[in-house]
Amino acid sequence: MKHSSSQTRSSSYLHLLLLLLLILPLICLFSNPSVHLYLIPALGSCQPVKFTETRELTPPKPTFRLLMGILTLPSRFERRSLIRLAYSNQQITGAHVDIRFILCNVTKEDEITLVSLEMMQYDDIIILHCTESMNSGKTYTYFSSLPILFTGEDKYDYATKSDDDTYFILNNLIKSLEDKSRHDMYYGAGFPFNEKDSPQFMLGMGYLLSWDLIEWIAESEITRSEPVGPEDMLTGKWLNMGNKARNRYNMIPAMYDYKGPELGDFIPGTIAVHQLKETTRWLNTLKYFNMKDRIRT
């Protein structure tokens, strides 16, 4: 009988030992409730357990905020879809960038439906009270509306005006702006509006103004008295008449017109490519800048 009792106790001790070995890893795990397990430990030891802590990290404050306004037409649904896709594949760092499509009043029933669906899905369209025409004041309405639309913490440091045939390489743009002025600043593809013997024309591929200039456009009698005219020529005229944009940055050759589909037609450090009038030009440009390191041939 003693022998049987001894066997029973030994068996109980063995079962207890096995149970402890089984629950020991769980003790190791649940004693660290704020960590995420990525390696299950060997049975019977807490020492080799490795964890990675999941902490709420505050994202770094962006160096600046940039609004990219793309002037387009309500009917260009496919172009907007392509542009969204293109920019969604750019991984930007260092700055906060918002891309918005700028439309005037949408009046056609089919366009109202499509644009409404886009707005519900993407929330990236601004509709202005103006007429869709190249020289009927859309640029003035766009710039003068921004200080009303974006106030307080929503204000930007810069805003661009470009058309839907221009593609910006955002990280190159951000890097080039790091050492530029935040005030009284024009940034674009040259500034021939400085030349007395030529029209005051600002190249239409796109340009950037500091937010104080945008506020000035919204408030100035100079701009308010002449809101309608050849759009980009008019902006240059406003700045010269107001003695504004004393910090002017010419980004040629990093901003240029589309040349062709070959690798040599694009340059390192490109900030913007213009004249992407056809989808094939967009695809050639995107293949080079967005996909060249991802496509296997």
Number of domains in the chain: 2
240 shares its domain with 157: yes
CA distance 39 to 48: 9
235 shares its domain with 173: yes
**167-168: strand order across its sheet:** 167-168, 272-274, 255-257
27 shares its domain with 101: no
pLDDT over 70, % of the chain: 74
192 shares its domain with 161: yes
128: domain CATH number is: 3.90.550.50
Residue 296 domain flag: no
203 shares its domain with 267: yes
pLDDT above 60: residue 173? yes
The answer for residues whose C-beta is within 8 angstroms of residue 125's C-beta and 6 or more apart is 100, 101, 103, 115, 118, 119
Residue 222 domain flag: yes
47 shares its domain with 129: no
Residue 33 domain flag: yes
Domain membership of residue 194 as a residue range: 65-289
- What's the pLDDT tens digit per position in 191-228? 654 555 444 555 678 999 999 999 999 999 999 999 99
Residue 58 domain flag: no
Mean pLDDT on 11-24: 55
Residue 285 domain flag: yes
Residue 30 domain flag: yes
Residue 220 domain flag: yes
Return mean pLDDT, the chain.
Answer: 83
pLDDT above 90: residue 14? no
- Burial class from Cβ neighbours inside 10 Å (0-12, 13-18, 19+) for residue 186 reads buried
39 shares its domain with 112: no
186 shares its domain with 211: yes
227 shares its domain with 248: yes
- What's the pLDDT tens digit per position in 92-141? 999 999 999 999 999 999 999 999 999 999 999 999 999 887 778 999 99
CA distance 14 to 20: 10
127 shares its domain with 262: yes
With bands split at pLDDT 50, 70 and 90, how would you rate the model's confidence at 51? very low
Mean pLDDT on 161-188: 97
pLDDT above 70: residue 46? no
The answer for residues whose C-beta is within 8 angstroms of residue 288's C-beta and 6 or more apart is 263, 266
